[in-house]
Amino acid sequence: MKDDGAFREFLKQKGLRLTPEREAILREVFDTRGEHFDPEELHISLRQKDANVSRASVYRTIPLLIEAGIIEEVERVDKHSHYELTWGREHHDHMLCLGCGKVIEFLSQEMEELQDRLCAEHGFSGQTHTLEIKGYCSKCARKVA
Amino acid sequence: MKDDGAFREFLKQKGLRLTPEREAILREVFDTRGEHFDPEELHISLRQKDANVSRASVYRTIPLLIEAGIIEEVERVDKHSHYELTWGREHHDHMLCLGCGKVIEFLSQEMEELQDRLCAEHGFSGQTHTLEIKGYCSKCARKVA
DNA sequence: TTACTTGCAAAACGTTTGCAAGTGC
DNA sequence: GCACTTGCAAACGTTTTGCAAGTAA
């Protein structure tokens, strides 16, 4: 893994420690390679790899990873939070298929610019945004129709 | 209240009953006039008006109101769900101030068209979308800066 | 009459936290 | 050594549910 230095750096800067547990969690997060995950899934993956990391540590580390700019919370599904690795990746938005759960990532420069313009019009200083379009992917749309 | 017919209609169609509790909840939802609310707030408002509706009934009725197209879930704040009345109102998106919690609603025809175009490009049949821009309103931006 | 609906209290769920033992720096 | 970190289990706040009694149609 190449980018773990960013987290290391972040911890040092905050006077926090790099523990084996945090390393294992970070490694697991990078292993998702951009796939969305929730804390429970992360915890199960860690256990399967014989990493002795408690659920509590997973929950305690997630806010640190967010603050370090490594992951972000994405749209909530059901009643729990989902996250994705964003470190080293370009910003993007999501289309979520209601049929099969497939997630399409997309990026539109035009959309970004339009949002900047809309913020300016409302005297709003935009920091981040989340756009999720729900509907049906080409496969599922065929079935539903 | 004028638009309660839609819910009445929906219930009849599903073989469900119009009870005093459901009427009270519906009335209260229309009373929010588009302000965001959570189930607990709704329940408290009902109690203040001497409507004997249990929390359980509030929670059980919300999914019905969503299915009937009367309310929608909006972006989650903290760990619980927030809803808003959408019946009879135009679609809109939100800007959320991280400083004071203020919500700015906005609508951009250009944004809607751009999304349609993006969906088409990805062979995606978009049904609904939620766009939330987080940042700081003009007042709070001044304080932060 | 007969399903649907209610309130209650208990359960369930994801998440957070107090604590005592352990450990990076 | 000292502050930070851990795992555990209990606590938390929101939401769901089993049940027996009540009620709309």
CATH number (domain holding residue A71)? 1.10.10.10
- Strand extents, DSSP E, A78-141: 80-85, 93-97, 103-106, 125-136
Count other C-beta atoms under 10 Å from residue A54's C-beta.
Answer: 12
Number of domains in chain B: 2
pLDDT greater than 70 at residue A58: yes
- Domain enclosing residue A101, as ranges: 91-145
- B130-CA/C10-C1' distance, Å: 36
Domain shared by A27 and A41, yes or no: yes
The Cα–Cα gap between A44 and B62 comes to 33
Q: pTM for the full model?
A: 0.89
B135 and B66 part of one domain: no
The residue among A89, A104, A127 that closes a domain is A89
Of A56-70, A85-99, A110-124, give the lowest mean pLDDT range: A85-99
Count of CB contacts below 8 A, A vs B?
A: 103
With CA atoms as reference, report the closest residue to B69 among B84, B52, B50, B54: B84
Predicted pLDDT of residue A83 = 96
Whether residue A31 is found in the same domain as residue A54: yes
Say whether both B80 and B102 belong to one domain: no
A69-102 pLDDT tens trace: 999 999 777 788 999 999 999 999 999 998 888 8
pLDDT of residue B80: 87
Could you tell me which chain A residue has the CA closest to the CA of B81?
A79
pLDDT band at A26 (very low <50, low <70, confident <90, very high): very high
Query: Which DSSP symbol is given to B16?
Result: -
B142 shares its domain with B77: no
CATH of the domain at B104: 3.30.1490.190
